[in-house]
Each structure stands twice: as structure tokens, then as C-alpha cells.
Chain A
Amino acid sequence: MAGAEGDDSLYPIAVLIDELRNEDVQLRLNSIKKLSTIALALEVERTRTELLPFLTDTIYDEDEVLLALAEQLGSFTVLVGGPEFVHCLLPPLESLATVEETVVRDKAVESLRKISQEHSPVDLEVHFVPLVKRLASGDWFTSRTSACGLFSVCYPHVSSTVKAEIRQHFRTLCSDDTPMVRRAASSKLGEFAKVLELDYVKSDIIPLFTALASDEQDSVRLLAVESGVSIATLLPQEDLEDLVMPTLRQAAEDKSWRVRYMVADKFSELQKAVGPEITKNDLVPAFQNLLKDCEAEVRTAAANKVKVFCESLPEDSRETIIMTHILPCVKELVSDTNQHVKSALASVIMGLSTILGKDNTVEHLLPLFLVQLKDEYPEVRLNIISNLDCVNEVIGIRQLSQSLLPAIVELAEDAKWRVRLAIIEYMPLLAGQLGVEFFDEKLNSLCMAWLIDHVYAIREAATCNLMKLVEKFGAEWAQNTIVPKVLGMANDSNYLHRMTTLFCINALSEVCGQEITTKHMLPVVLKMSTDQVANVRFNVARCLQKIGPVLDSSALQAEVKPVLEKLATDQDMDVKYFALDAISGMYPFISLTFQHISSQKHFHSPLYYPLQFFFFNKSAKMSTILCFSVNMGSNGCNITKSEKLKGV
């Protein structure tokens, strides 16, 4: 049909098809991503007979192309002619399900699962199930691992004879020679159990679970733990004790710490699955053991679960269990030798106060909080401080304030700038909870000290912090306490501090309002326009642009405009640039970025050289993965701080 319309309509499609085999991966990828356009143009018949056979054989391609292909095929049903022909998609997905790259295989399996829903029961038995069987008995482990994820989607819709075959295949895979396949089976066991009839769960799945949970490889055993949790949710309460608990108990005491770690990590799910009785009799002692485990990784995982575990204990005996069984272990963890354990505990321990109520908190928990507030590792102290709100609700923060203050001061002066940065971020929260008086008395000086920190990221965070404080305490407070100090820095001999004044004004003008800005801040800014350092002058221009919207038009005309015009004739080209930028962009407001000038020469500009190397050392057990970035430009610090930290 396409031919009749002439070359013009064919051309773009022809390009797309040709680029399916272009040398450039990016072009191939683009083409694959528009596969539906190609298929639409070829129409269903040719898609089935020509395009799909070609795609089936292109598994030599780069992973990213194959990944895109596997994803596309999952929503290709309409393009091959609807559910009636959906089985045509099976061959290319089958070959994708056997490639060595895990992400591609997983995507192919995902698409296969998706299109399995579009098969009629007959097609499932005629086309889909044979594919699953082929994969399950494939020569390479890659195909057998892929098969593991496909049993559960076809099982519910097939006849009982086929069901029996599927169960048999799954059984075989559970005792496969290669650990990779046993791991895949182990992790899909719970999912498969969900679609099985209860009798078969008991007769088939339980023995498989028991076998996998005692596999010789701990990498298999640890995956059985999660399946065990899913299986436990399927069984009636009376069967749990006989069928799964012996195995789970054994897992909680496994010789391998990785298995115990998994138990600790899945503990709340497990608790939910087995119900209150077993929790009381079995899980409480098991949890105590995990909290006392010899491996720090396990203790860390368990410590993370302390709050959730306690919360979900049956109400009638919750307090007794916590007081007699859990709290003694928690007390020990507070002085653990491993910082990650303590840090994990510190992030949840405050949550216990809501569960235990005021008296118990004061008597038992408060001493622990105080110990942790004095911990040698900043992360522990930070975690306590960041969760203060939980305690605040129960006993009020005053109880803690005497210990809190030294802890905050110490963190505020920590040698690591990341620690200082973290505590700054909690300042507005603390200020809110401690109240304005306490703040003025004790913390205000800290907040001001950060403004002259030698790390830009801290100074920047400190300005932002001031803004949040003003939002909390109001403009009047600002005028009395912080504005004079900020403006005082305008006369500092260090130009970096003078610039900080400008950055503070940028942040504060809006929250402080027109009056304070015009009366107090503007004169200072204008005065700084004659600063001898060009960086200060061009920041004046930027500052004026920023505070422009807050000022009234008479001030703009009478005071700001002449200064900007003078700056526009400055001998420094950057000052000129920003002044002109400010004049032209006075309305509307233009956001300030550094990027567009970063290509110019700025040898004298300190804003462009916080050249920093950041080394991340994730935790004791991990090796130092050196991830380093060199940042040119002031806003580079920001990027490193927020994104890299999460990424590593």
C-alpha cells in the first residue's frame, strides 16, 4: 500500500529500517526505539513474516539495543495483528531471554510475562508453555534462569496435565547443577507458590523450599529466606509450625552471616506472615539473637528493624516484651564496637519512645539517647538529632537540651565539611523545636559562624539556613538578630565574606520583605558597588537583579538604576556583563546561573576554583571505591554534594 503513495512517505521509514543495522550504536538504538513506527508502516503481515524473523536473529547487538528491543516487543501485540497472533512475538523474546546480559534477559522475561496475559488459554498451551519448557531444559544456564520467572504466569490458565508438567519442570530447576539456576528458582519460589493450589504448596513447594534453604551454597540459601516469607503468608496458621518454621528457625541460625542478614532484613515481613503467636514464641528470641549476632552486618540489619518489630508486636504483651527482651539488647547495641550498628540503631531508637510512653522513655530510653548524643561517630549523633521530633512529642525536647547543645556544637565544628553540612540542614528543625529563646542564646552564634566557613558549600548552606530560620521566626526577629550581623560582614577585609553578605541578601530579601530590604539591605549593597574586587562588584549587580522584584519602583529608578549603569561601564568585563544582564533582565526576573559565563576567562575569579577531590569511603566492609569529581565553578559543589552522595 505504501508504494502507491510515492517515495516521500516511504523515505523516513526506509531510513529507520536501514539504520537498524547502522554502524553507530546510537542510530541503531534510535531505530529500535521507533520499531513500532516501522511495524506500523510494514503492516501486520510483513511485521510477522519479515521484521520479527530478522529481529530474532539480531541478538549479536549491543546490550542497550537488545534491552530496548526486549522492552519494545512487550507492547507489540497490536502491531502483529492482535492477541490472535501474539505468539509471533515469542521467538525473538525467546532468543533475548538467553543472552548473557542479565538486564536484557530480565527485560525479555518481563515482556514475555506481559504478553502471556494476551494469549488465549489454547495459545498458552500451544505456544507459550512449549517455550517455557524449551527454556527450562536449555543447554545454558541463561535460558534456564529465564524460565524460572515464567512458570507463575502460565500456570493458572492451563489444564491440569500441563500444570503437572510445569510443576515437574520447576522441581527440576530447583535441583539444577548450576547455582545460578538454583538461585533463580529460589527467588521465584514464593511467586510460584502463590499461584499453586494449597495442596500442591504443601506437597511440592515445601520440600523444594526446605531443600533450597539447606543448599550447599549460601548464595542460594539466602534467597530462600524471602521465598519462605511469601510461602508463610499462604499457609494456614496451624500448618506454619510444621511446614516452614523449622526451616526459618534454621535460617536465623545459619552458619553463614549472609543468610542471617537476610533473615534480619526480612524480619518485619516475616513477623507479619507468621502472626502474633509465633512472633511471641519464636521471633522474639530469634530477634534477640540477631541483635547480638557476631557479625556487624547482621546486627546493623537487625538494629534497623528494632522500631518496626516493636511496633508490630501484639498489643497485649508489647510493653513487657520490649522491656524484658528487646531493651536489654538495645542497651548493648548503644555501646557496640561497630559504628554502622550504632548508627542504624540511632536512626530508629527515638521511635521507641512513642511505643513505650513518657515514663519508660524518661527512665530507660533517655539515658541511651544521651549516650548516643555523645558517641564518637558523627553519623550516630546526627541520626539522633534528625529524629528528635519523635521524642519531642512524648517528653518534650527540654529533657535533652542540656546534652543536645554540646553535641550540636561539636558537630557544627566537625573537621569534615559533610558533617557540618548535615547538621546545618537540621538547624531549622531544631530551631522550631527548641524555640526562639533557646536558639538565640545558644545556636545563633553557630549559624553566623558557618557564614565564614572556609568551604563554599557550608557558606552556601548557611545562607539558605538563615532564610529558613527567618521563615520560622519572622522578619522582626531577623531584623533584630541576623540582619545586623550579616550586614556587618560587608566591611570585612576578606572579599569572600563580603560576598557572603551579598549571597545572604539574595536569600533573605524576599522573606524579610520590602521594608527591611529597602531600608537596611539596599544601602549596603549599593555601597559595595565600589568594592575594589571585581567579584564583589559583579555580585552586586547580580544581587540587585535578584532583590529587584522586592523593591518598589521608585527605589529601583532612583537608587538601583544609576549604580547598575555605572557598573555597566566598569573596566572588568564580567562586571559589565552582569550589570548589563541585570539592567536588561530587571523585568522579568532572570534566574542566575554560572554556566553561560564559564567559558570565558576568569583567572582572578575565586568562584571558579573550588577544585575539589571527593573520596568516598562507604563503610568499613567496603573497599574504598574512589569516586572523584573535579568541580569547576561554585555551583559544582552542590552537584557533588547531593547527587554523588546518593549515587555512591
Chain B
Amino acid sequence: EAGVGGFFTKTKSEINLFFNLVCDPADVISTVEFNQTGEFLATGDKGGRVVIFQREPQGEYNVYSTFQSHEPEFDYLKSFEIEEKINKIRWLPPHNPAHFLLSTNDKTVKLWKVSEKDKRAEGYNLRDEEGRLKDLSTITTLQVPVLRPMDLLVEASPRRVFANAHAYHINSISVNSDCETYLSADDLRINLWHLNITDRSFNIVDLKPENMEDLSEVITVAEFHPHHCHLLAFSSSTGTTRLCDMRARALCDQHAKLFEEAVDPSRQSFFSEIVSSVSDVKFSHSGRYLLTRDYLTVKVWDLNMENKPMETYQVHDYLRTKLCSLYESDCIFDKFECAWNGTDSVIMTGAYNNYFRMFDRASLRDVTLEASREVCKRRAVLQPRRVCVGKKRKETDVSVDSLDFRKKILHTAWHPKENIIAIAASNNLYIFQDRLTPNGHHNTPEIQSAM
């Protein structure tokens, strides 16, 4: 168990002890993803490990399986190291009692099967159960092994390795609703794979210019539509999101729709393009809307309206005056993810200082919550936080200048049906649930476990 991230193996009673441990960089969580039913939750980390949690009947998530998905590698042709960090995890729709997921690092996508085994064969002809050879003269009849129940064993086995198709770093993978293909996107290209074929993929988008000096944008995220197998969206560093129809052409270089908001020239600055780069795109569960996250805002787009977003929510507008120092510390390039709740009525995204934000689309109310060891006591209700510019108005307010930019919540996931959220903050995974009103109010999540 030594190789497993420290906190994953700790039981709840040891939480306090764990808090004193120093964080190993390999333990930093790099992706979080619920499966289609929400019964399972997978995390990937910088050390190339995948940890799967299963929801117990009582509602708590416990570790179900841990495995090493990727190992560090070295590309000898191009002379560079390939990190083992898991960039994305995507679950496949259920096939059979086993569970399947795709995990990817910068270069290679792998399909994993996580299955349970509860029977064991017993009865050898030539050996006894301890493995000692039997005396041959005692063998007078043949024995067919019989299966006997045993303790449940969860195994993860690699089923496919999809390699050698990306010249740049893979930033997203997405399973198609036809359940037989998926896409993988790197900085300049999007490839389409068949889940059963590992030696061939189709390049459907290629932004690489003839001359790399003409390069003006890179792909930041790509995702398939949840229901229509021919639609995919991808966003770019210039702040645009494109919708492609794979029915129209084999190559999707020409988009069907381009979602872009006209920039107000008066607010243009050196940082405008950097902060407008889209760091995450999520289709709503209904398939009608697109959620995009850029550095300062989250936007909801209607697929039928390309020229401006339906809704724009400020995540941390108070940083607008701090862009210069954020640029110097490279924080301005942080890629925050965003998530929809099961009914598409609330959206969630991360921020700095271990804060994360939720926006209720109907009531337009929003809340800032904090995921940190200090405040996340079991069964305690999270208190809203407020960041203020200038003078504090309340005792609990936090000044912009005291925000800790090293503590950031980049990866979040929302249970597909219930109000359960998973928040990754550095090497900690927080799972909160709204216990009082299962389908209603969102902004009083209760801590289920702080690990």
C-alpha cells in the first residue's frame, strides 16, 4: 500500500494524523470524474494513479480500487520525458458487471476494466492446495477443479492502449454517445478512435498551420455531445468554442457553429486574450447548452445562439486588477474546470484560496464555499465565504490581498443525479452532499468526508 497516495489509505479516524503529513507532489489530484450512475467516482493524480471510490448503501464513498494507470516514460526519438500525470478520466457506459474507464496522460490513452472476483478454483490433480506435489501413486482419478466462494477481490486490468497518435499533449478525451468511439484532443489536433481498435485513429480536426510561426490558437478542450453522436464541441485559447458536425464532412476543420462573444474594445488589455482562453467546456445533460470556463468567468451558451452567451457569471472579478502579478506567478494560466448539476440548474467551478463557486441559474444567487481541512469537519455545514476588495465589512470576510493563490481548486465533479459534489484541492478530495433537501437547494452542502 506504500505506493498509494497517503490519504487514500487512511481511515476516517486517522484524519487528524493525516493533516500533519507533508504533501507529496505525486499525490496531487489531477482529475475527478463520476461514472454515469454516480455510484463510482474516479480520481487520477500526478503520480499516474487512478483511485476509484464506491458509494456505500449508507451514502458514503469508500475506496474501491487503486491502480497505477500510467508510468513515466521517455520518448527516445524526440528526447523528452512523458509524465505519468493523469490528465483526464472518462467512464464508459456500463457494458456488464465490470466497469470500464479511459484514462490518459500527455500521450497515451488506456482503457481499464475494473472487475470483481468472488470465486476461486480449487482442486489440483498433481498438487495439494498448498502447492506441494502429491505422491503420483496416490492419483487414481482425474479431478476437475471446482469454484468456491472467496473474499471479494477487485481487479483493474488494462484492456487497450491507444498510443502513438498524438504529437502534442492530450488535453481531453470524450466518449461518444454511440458508445463505440471516443475522441482524444491535443493542442492542435483531435483524433477519433474506435474503442476496439488501437492501431488506427482518424484525424478529424487539425489546426496545425503549414508554418508553425503562423500558429495563432491551440485547442484547449474537446467534448462530444451527450446524445447526438455526430456533434462535438472544442474550444480554443482565443476564447472561442466551435461546434462541429461530423455528418457533414469527414474532416471537421470547418465548424458548424462558432460561439464567440464580441470583445468590448474599451476593456481590452495585454491580458485580454490570456484570460479569455477557454479552460473547460461541458455540455449540459440536456444537450441544449454549453458551459465554458475562462479565467474570470463561466458562461452558459445556448447551442442555438452563437453571438453571445445566455448567462455570464463572474467567478472572481476582484482579480481583474491583479492580473499583472497573476501573470508573473503563472497563475493566469491555471485551467479551472466547471460542472453542471444533474438538472442543469446549478453550475459549479473552482477558484483560489481553496474556494469554489456555485451559481443558481434560476434565482441568480451565487455562493462561495471553502474546501479546506480547517472548515471541513464531519457533518458540519459549510459556511459561505466572502472576498472583499478594500476594507472588511464583516469579521468573516477575506481580503483579496490575503488570498492564497497556491491553494486552487481546479478539478470538480457533480454527481449525475444527486446533489453530491467532489472537489479536488491539491492532494485532498472533498465530497460534499446536500443532505437536507436532496433535490432542492444547493448552497448548504454538508461534509460527508474530508480526506
Contact = CB atoms under 8 A, between A and B. Distances in A.
Interface of A: 2-3, 7, 10-11, 13-15, 17-18, 20-21, 41-42, 46, 50-51, 54, 57-58, 60, 98-102, 140-143, 178-180, 183, 216-219, 254-258, 294-297, 618, 620-627
A201 B200 CA distance: 39
B415 interface: no
A20 B145 contact: yes
A20 B125 CA distance: 11
A385 to B, nearest CB: 28
Contacts of B95: 100, 140-142
Nearest to B116: A60
13 contacts: A13-B142, A15-B125, A21-B121, A50-B146, A51-B144, A60-B117, A141-B179, A178-B179, A217-B178, A217-B229, A254-B247, A255-B248, A294-B248
Contact of B229 (A17, A50, A179): A179
A218 B124 contact: no
B164 A57 contact: no
A625 to B, nearest CB: 6
Given A18-B126, A60-B115, A7 B228 contact: no
B26 to A, nearest CB: 29
B142 A620 contact: no
Contacts of B165: 623-626
Interface stretch (B81-89, B132-140, B394-402): B132-140
A616 B447 CA distance: 54
Given A100-B96, A179-B178, A625-B199, A295 B249 contact: yes
Lowest 7 CB-CB distances: which A-B pairs, in order? A623-B203, A256-B247, A14-B125, A50-B144, A3-B140, A219-B178, A140-B96
A140 B159 CA distance: 19
Nearest to A258: B247
Contacts of B93: 178
A3 B142 CA distance: 8
A3 B164 CA distance: 56
Interface size class of B (residues with CB under 8 A): 35 or more
Contacts of A622: 200-203
Given A18-B124, A140-B94, A257 B115 contact: no
Given A17-B144, A622-B200, A218 B125 contact: no
Contacts of A627: 164, 199
Interface of B: 93-98, 100, 113, 115, 117, 119, 121, 124-127, 136-137, 139-147, 159, 164-165, 167, 177-180, 189, 191, 196, 199-204, 227-230, 246-251
Contacts of A46: 142, 144
A60 B120 CA distance: 10
A21 B96 CA distance: 24
A294 B249 contact: yes
Contact of A7 (B139, B201, B202, B246): B139
Contacts of B199: 625, 627
Contact of B98 (A17, A100, A618): A100
A257 B248 contact: yes
Given A51-B144, A54-B145, A256-B247, A623 B189 contact: yes
B134 to A, nearest CB: 10
A2 B144 CA distance: 14
B145 A179 contact: no
Given A42-B142, A100-B98, A622-B201, A296 B250 contact: yes
Given A18-B125, A18-B126, A179-B178, A2 B251 contact: no
A257 B142 contact: no
B250 A100 contact: no
Nearest to B138: A7
